[in-house]
Amino acid sequence: MSEEEKKRYRNRKIVTVIVMGILVLIFGFIGLLQLNSLKRT
């Protein structure tokens, strides 16, 4: 693998990690909202 390919691969891995983190945050936030609405009733 050339340096360019390594760099591109690493960048893609970083992007994937960031996207996963954002998804986890969104789902966690939705879960918290649902828990709060369940507690109110």
Distance CA 28, CA 41 (A): 21
Model pLDDT, residue 1:
74
Helix residue ranges, H only, the chain:
3-40
Model pLDDT, residue 23:
98
Model pLDDT, residue 39:
84
Range of the domain at 23: 1-41
**Which regions of the chain are under pLDDT 50?**
none
Mean pLDDT across the chain: 93
The pTM (predicted TM-score) of the whole model is 0.63
Rounded to 5 degrees, what are φ and ψ at 2? -80, 170
Burial class (CB in 10 A: 0-12, 13-18, 19+), 27: exposed
Q: Considering its fold, how many domains does the chain have in total?
A: 1
